[in-house]
Each structure stands twice: as structure tokens, then as C-alpha cells.
């Protein structure tokens, strides 16, 4: 029997990689995209296959209309897409005061326009009851003095996702937003020991989140137990931010 298919953008590492593993365990074949992380992506594909699942990694720059267009006609589209996780993104620490319009355009092109572009390229291949999860950020709600462009892109992404949820709900599709707090990914890789301790002390649960914490929530949002949830922004941050 053919297994359902999950498409995960930015699936080569971090939250994306953990999500690919979790959804594979949930019974999905995984089509993942990467831009620069080819080796981790291929290693992940091998790991999933060794575990009895199937996966394929494709190189897609989500800010490039041509590459996104090719994704839309990829042979795996013939299987239909049951789950779409829009996870790719870029984060450059730029203060609101120092941010240029070029900085903003670049970040919006990847994080916001890239996600919308992927959706438009593959929407005709989604199953009638497809589940879509958009990976946003707490910063898309609270803002950030040192990530103004990133915060703006994630805010736009969240409002687009909630708008989309209202439009495609009558078709049977669901769209939700995951808004992580501190997560142990490449974004925090440059933290000093002192900075990491400061972050942990800010969080009521006294730890930084793991990619697996995020993946388990995505698993819930794409599974049957969340069948009446759409248009929601789910904050997963250990109590760091309570909107």
C-alpha cells in the first residue's frame, strides 16, 4: 500500500529534520527540501530509509521562483501531498534601527514570499483533507530589537496562514502556525555558555526547547487528534512568552 506523503521545506536540519523523522514514524513518506545543507539532508534520507520508510531530498531555494516551480512538477507530486510543513527560513540579527530596505526585502523573499510560493506551486497536488503547518516564531508576535526583519516576515507569514485557513477550511484542509521560542538549532549555535544559561533561566521550564519538542507538536497538528483545530497559532516555548 502507498503511504501518505509529507512535504517539509527546510527539512535538512534542525526543526525540519526532527519533523521529517517524526512524520516518517507517523507513517508518511517524506519529500524534503534543502538549500545549502545537502550532506545532512542526504544523511537524513538514508536514516529514514534504513528505518523502513521512504524519503527523498531535493535542492530548492524557496526564494527562487524557478526552483519552486520545478518542485511543483516533481514526480512525487503524482502521489499527492497529504501534509505540508513550511519550515524553511533565514534569520540575520539586524536591529530595527539598522535594518535597510534591502535587508527587509531579502528576508521577506525567503521567509514569507518563499512560503507562499511553495504553497501556490503545490496546492493543486494537495489532498482534499491536507494539513498545513507553517513554522513561525514567537518573534512574529512580540517583535525583536535585534531581528526586526525576521519578526516582520514571521508576522506576515502567520497572518497569511490564518487567512488561508479561513479560505480552505470549507474544502476540508487545515492550516495552523507553530510559534517556537528558544530552540536548540543553528540559530543558537553561537551562544556562549553564559548566554545559554541566561536563556535557560528566562524560560519557566528552565531549558531551551529541542527540535523534537517542535516536531511532536507538528505531529499533533497533522494528526487526527487536532481535527477541529485550524487557523491557530500554537506557542511552544516553555512559558517564555505568554501572548
Per-residue model confidence as pLDDT tens digits over 170-186: 999 999 999 999 999 98
For residue 97, pLDDT beyond 60: yes
Q: What strands lie across the sheet with 81-86, from one edge to the other?
A: 55-59, 29-34, 5-8, 81-86, 126-135, 174-180, 233-236
Of the pLDDT bands very low, low, confident and very high (cuts 50, 70, 90), residue 53 is very high
Handedness of CA 83, 31, 106, 242 (dihedral sign): positive
What percentage of the chain reaches a pLDDT higher than 90?
91
Of the pLDDT bands very low, low, confident and very high (cuts 50, 70, 90), residue 146 is confident
Q: What is the pLDDT of residue 93?
A: 83
Mean pLDDT of the chain: 96
Q: What is the pLDDT of residue 1?
A: 57
Number of H helices, E strands in the chain: 9, 7
Q: What is the pLDDT of residue 94?
A: 86
Q: What is the pLDDT of residue 155?
A: 98
Of the pLDDT bands very low, low, confident and very high (cuts 50, 70, 90), residue 37 is confident
Query: Is the pLDDT higher at 61 or at 93?
Result: 61
For residue 136, pLDDT beyond 90: yes
202: left (phi over 0), alpha (psi -120 to 50) or beta: alpha
pTM: 0.96
User: What value does the mean pLDDT take over residues 108-122?
Assistant: 98
User: What value does the mean pLDDT take over residues 209-234?
Assistant: 98
| Residue 150 is a catalytic residue | yes
Q: What is the pLDDT of residue 51?
A: 95
What is the 8-class DSSP label of residue 2?
A: P
What percentage of the chain reaches a pLDDT higher than 70?
100
Cβ burial 168-181 (10 Å sphere, 16+ → b, else e)? beeeebbbbbbbbb
**Which listed residue (28, 34, 91, 150) is catalytic?**
150
Q: How far apart are CA 59 and CA 38, in angstroms?
A: 8
- CATH 3.90.1280.20 assigned to 5-236: no
Q: How far apart are CA 173 and CA 170, in angstroms?
A: 7
Amino acid at each position: 500500500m502507498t503511504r501518505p506523503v509529507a512535504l517539509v521545506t527546510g527539512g535538512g536540519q534542525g526543526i525540519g529534520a526532527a519533523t521529517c523523522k517524526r512524520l516518517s514514524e507517523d507513517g508518511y513518506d517524506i519529500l524534503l527540501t534543502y538549500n545549502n545543507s545537502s550532506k545532512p539532508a542526504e544523511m537524513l534520507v538514508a536514516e529514514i530509509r534504513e528505518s523502513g520508510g521512504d524519503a527523498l531530498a531535493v535542492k530548492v531555494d524557496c526564494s527562487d521562483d524557478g526552483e519552486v516551480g520545478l518542485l511543483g512538477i516533481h514526480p512525487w507530486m503524482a502521489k499527492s501531498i497529504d501534509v505540508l510543513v513550511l519550515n524553511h527560513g533565514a534569520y540575520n540579527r539586524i536591529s530595527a534601527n539598522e535594518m535597510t530596505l534591502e535587508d527587509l526585502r531579502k528576508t521577506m523573499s525567503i521567509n514569507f514570499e518563499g512560503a507562499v510560493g511553495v504553497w501556490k506551486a503545490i496546492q493543486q497536488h494537495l489532498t482534499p483533507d491536507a494539513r498545513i503547518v507553517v513554522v513561525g516564531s514567537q518573534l512574529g508576535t512580540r517583535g525583536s530589537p535585534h531581528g526586526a526583519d525576521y519578526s516582520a516576515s514571521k508576522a506576515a507569514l502567520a497572518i497569511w496562514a490564518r487567512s488561508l485557513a479561513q479560505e480552505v477550511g470549507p474544502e476540508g484542509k487545515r492550516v495552523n502556525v507553530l510559534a517556537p521560542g528558544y530552540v536548540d538549532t543553528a540559530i543558537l549555535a553561537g551562544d556562549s555558555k553564559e548566554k545559554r544559561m541566561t536563556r535557560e533561566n528566562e524560560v519557566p521550564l528552565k531549558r531551551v526547547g529541542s527540535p523534537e519538542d517542535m516536531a511532536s507538536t507538528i505531529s499533533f497538528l497533522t494528526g487526527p487528534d487536532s481535527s477541529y483545530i485550524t487557523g491557530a497559532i500554537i506557542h511552544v516555548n516553555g512559558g517564555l512568552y505568554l501572548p
